[in-house]
Amino acid sequence: MFDVIIIGAGPAGLTAGLYAGRAKLKTLILEKDIAGGQIATTEHVENYPGSEKGAGGLAISDRMEEQAREFCEIKYKEVKKVELKGEVKKVYTTDEVYESKVVIISTGASHRKLNVPGEKEFANLGVSYCSTCDGPFYQGLDIFVIGGGEAALEEALYLTKFGKSVNIIHRREGFRASQTIVDRCKENEKINFLLNYTVEEIKGESEVNELILKNTQTNELKTIKNDDNSPFGVFIYIGNIPQTDLFKDQIELIDGYIPTDEDMKTNLKGVFAIGDTRVKKIRQMVTATSDGCIASEMANKYIDNGEW
């Protein structure tokens, strides 16, 4: 029997474990893959306060895990089933059943992939899913943004701070974004549009320097490559996939994400959601760690006095 079980060991989950453990709550973190979540695969982290210059996401994740282990238990097991209703929650892995007074959901979200040749091979070598994280690395270079939704166009505008040009590639002429932001993109001199195109392949040597596109109306192929073979950035914004299937029949969801209040409380008593799993506007490591702190502090108060 635990006071708190945290499902997921990304920055949000590890922070929640650190704070809950320091509050003398018997705490368990369950993780199916590696600590750190998406940040563990990020080569450079420049936007997390206090991180050392040149520090990679894996090094930061390792330190966060090490620190959390000082105060709570971490087990690498996949959660297969949960029972979240009632005062005692049950969490099932392949070979164990764990019980707790509180469950903190920190299963995150994954970037939707293009699933084209070169995307995986050039991750962090020209292919990115986070303009805030990687935009500054493409100062003065050409940048290509894949997608036609609100997020894609907002990130394209942000990337004009860094890129020599920002080119939006979208599979059709219409956008799934507000007309206001579409107009802002059209008015920006740095932004160009490649409409009715899909990305067929991402190519390069040590970094991305070539794209193969296909016209969705004519099926003709188009190659994008600078004359001097200079590298460029490819930022993919075709949506995220929240990792919440495990909870869909028990907890309120909005487009797959878990709505919470400012205390990270869900619609179920004793259940919190944090990080990329929950409905929120900004998904960054710094906001995830903030969520983890808040949830564990609120969990401590709930366990102490039973108020929700």
| Catalytic residue (choose from 3, 134, 142, 291) | 134
Query: Which one is catalytic: 3, 72, 130, 291?
Result: 130
Scored b (16 or more CB within 10 A) or e, 184-210 reads bbeeeebbebbbbbbbebbbbeebbbb
User: Are the beta carbons of 94 and 286 closer than 8 angstroms?
Assistant: no
**Helices 150-159 and 179-187: crossing angle, nearest 10°?**
30
The residue annotated as part of the active site, out of 3, 33, 62, 133, is 133
3-state secondary structure of 280: coil
- CA 166/CA 156 separation, integer angstroms: 6
One-letter amino acid for residue 97 of the chain: V
Q: What is the DSSP letter of 113?
A: P
Residue 181 makes CB contacts below 8 A (sequence gap 6+) with: 150, 153, 154, 157
Which residues, other chains included, contact 227 with Cβ-Cβ below 8 Å and sequence gap of 6+? none
Q: 130 an active-site residue?
A: yes
Provide the 8-state DSSP code for 38: G
Q: Is 133 a catalytic residue?
A: yes
Residues involved in catalysis? 130, 133-134
